[in-house]
Amino acid sequence: MQSTKPVRPGAGQPVTGHISTSLSGGLLGGALRMAESVLLRGGQQTARRNAWDAVCENRRYAQDREDVRRVLVHSAR
């Protein structure tokens, strides 16, 4: 299973089995947010953030399902 790495600053909490980087509050995070606010206006910016949060949540659920599957397969042996 491949590890994933969120590319949006501050996207979700670290998840076991995933590579996660949190840049929120940092210089790079602030610069990215400033660029985002200039390039995207209100509704687009909110929609983009919501979509990315949904992607990250789906990845976490997929990882959880995979972890449960591995446990069940291992316990069935």
Instruction: Look at residue 25 in the predicted model and tell me its pLDDT.
Output: 57
Q: How far is CA 53 from the centre of its chain?
A: 6
Instruction: Look at residue 5 in the predicted model and tell me its pLDDT.
Output: 52
Q: Which of 43, 57, 62, 48 is nearest to 1 (CA)?
A: 62
CB 9 within 8 A of CB 33: yes
Q: Which of 52, 51, 49, 56 is nearest to 13 (CA)?
A: 56
Indicate yes or no: pTM above 0.85.
Answer: no
Q: Residue 11: phi, psi to the nearest 5?
A: -80, 100
Kindly tell me if the per-residue pLDDT of 1 is higher than 60.
no
Pull the structure tokens for residue 51: 């979509």
Kindly tell me if the per-residue pLDDT of 43 is higher than 70.
yes
